């Protein structure tokens, strides 16, 4: 019964967007920066508890490690203890490279949860939170500048030399399809299509300004854009076939 109650609580937490209850100081940080996270555990099994311990892990999508404070689930050490930061709020300060014993190049993101010392209570996972990269890693799709706002000029680049998917390797890109979102709500009903330009040997780009390409409802804002490159390949009969790349999500930064 307790297990069912716990699962139900987790489900409610996910639906109500409890993930948004995590803040960071500073707001952006590299794996070498000291950062303080603060989490609001209201609505989780950790609500109302007098102490909380962190359970932290790196690279959520693979290649991750436990933080050095993850020694025993049923007996968290003193250095995993979180600091009270208000009613149902707990904070914890750490540096990525020290916490995970990984290099800045290895560390992409991390996740964590808050738990009781004996592990009988816990919050859902809060993840993933990205580290600002300290080393440049070439990627198939790259936005320039890397951090942009809704009013900025954004150039999205497609480097076919780095592609690992056959259509992305073979295609001759012609257009890009872009959709804009405010949170999880799409702005407008159709994607904006723009022409792409050739910028080098098998490299392509398209440039746009989100607020120029999309009509943002009064009081709304664009928090992310999703894009895919479209193009043609020759089919087995010699006929031209339309194909698209995978979709890439670009989170926008609130600027001033």
When asked if residue 162 is in the footprint of another protein (CB under 8 A), the reply is: no
CB 222 within 8 A of CB 204: no
Which CB atom, from 130 or from 147, has the smaller least distance to another protein? 147
- # binding residues, another protein (CB under 8 A): 24
Q: Whole-angstrom Cα distance, residue 64 to residue 177? A: 33
Q: Of the candidates 16, 28, 74, 161, which one interacts with another protein according to CB under 8 A? A: 28
**Can you give 92-111 as a three-state secondary structure string?**
EEEEHHHHHCCCCCCCCEEE
CB 209 to another protein: min, Å:
6
End-to-end CA distance of the chain: 50
When asked if residue 130 is in the footprint of another protein (CB under 8 A), the reply is: no
When asked if residue 134 is in the footprint of another protein (CB under 8 A), the reply is: yes
Burial status of residue 219 (CB atoms within 10 A of its CB: 0-12, 13-18, 19 or more): exposed
When asked if residue 161 is in the footprint of another protein (CB under 8 A), the reply is: no
What character string, x for contact with another protein (CB under 8 A) and - otherwise, covers 205-234?
A: --x-x--x----------------------
Which CB atom, from 137 or from 237, has the smaller least distance to another protein? 137
When asked if residue 5 is in the footprint of another protein (CB under 8 A), the reply is: no
Q: In 3D, which of 124, 111, 112, 126 has the Cα closest to residue 46?
A: 124
Q: Of the candidates 51, 152, 221, 224, which one interacts with another protein according to CB under 8 A? A: 152
Pairing state between β 203-208 and 224-234: unpaired
Rounded to 5 degrees, what are φ and ψ at 44? -115, 170
When asked if residue 239 is in the footprint of another protein (CB under 8 A), the reply is: no
Burial status of residue 127 (CB atoms within 10 A of its CB: 0-12, 13-18, 19 or more): middle
The answer to whether the Cα torsion of 58, 60, 66, 67 is positive or negative is positive
When asked if residue 155 is in the footprint of another protein (CB under 8 A), the reply is: yes
CB 189 to another protein: min, Å:
25
CB 238 to another protein: min, Å:
35
Which of these segments, 11-19, 142-150, 181-189, 219-227, binds another protein (CB under 8 A)? Answer: 142-150
**Which spans of this chain sit near another protein (rule: CB under 8 A)?**
26-28, 132-134, 136, 142, 144-149, 152-153, 155, 207, 209, 212, 253-256
């Amino acid at each position: 019964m307790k297990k069912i109650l716990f699962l139900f609580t987790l489900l409610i937490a996910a639906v109500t967007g409890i993930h948004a209850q995590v803040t960071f100081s500073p707001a952006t940080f590299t794996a070498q920066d000291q950062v303080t996270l603060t989490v609001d555990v209201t609505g989780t099994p950790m609500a109302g508890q007098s102490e909380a311990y962190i359970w932290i892990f790196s690279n959520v999508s693979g290649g991750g490690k436990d933080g050095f404070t993850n020694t025993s689930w049923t007996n968290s050490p003193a250095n995993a203890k979180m600091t009270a930061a208000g009613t149902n709020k707990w904070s914890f300060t750490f540096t990525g490279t020290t916490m995970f014993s990984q290099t800045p190049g290895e560390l992409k993101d991390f996740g964590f949860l808050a738990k009781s010392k004996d592990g009988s209570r816990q919050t859902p996972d809060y993840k993933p939170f990205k580290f600002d990269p300290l080393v440049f890693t070439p990627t198939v799709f790259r936005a320039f500048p890397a951090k942009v706002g809704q009013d900025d000029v954004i150039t999205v680049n497609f480097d076919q030399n780095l592609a690992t998917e056959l259509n992305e390797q073979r295609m001759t890109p012609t257009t890009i399809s872009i959709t804009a979102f405010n949170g999880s709500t799409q702005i407008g009903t159709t994607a904006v299509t723009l022409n792409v330009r050739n910028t080098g040997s098998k490299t392509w780009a398209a440039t746009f300004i989100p607020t120029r390409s999309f009509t943002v409802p009064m009081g709304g804002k664009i928090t992310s854009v999703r894009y895919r490159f479209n193009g043609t390949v020759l089919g087995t009969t010699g006929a031209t076939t339309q194909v698209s790349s995978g979709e890439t999500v670009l989170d926008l930064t609130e600027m001033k």
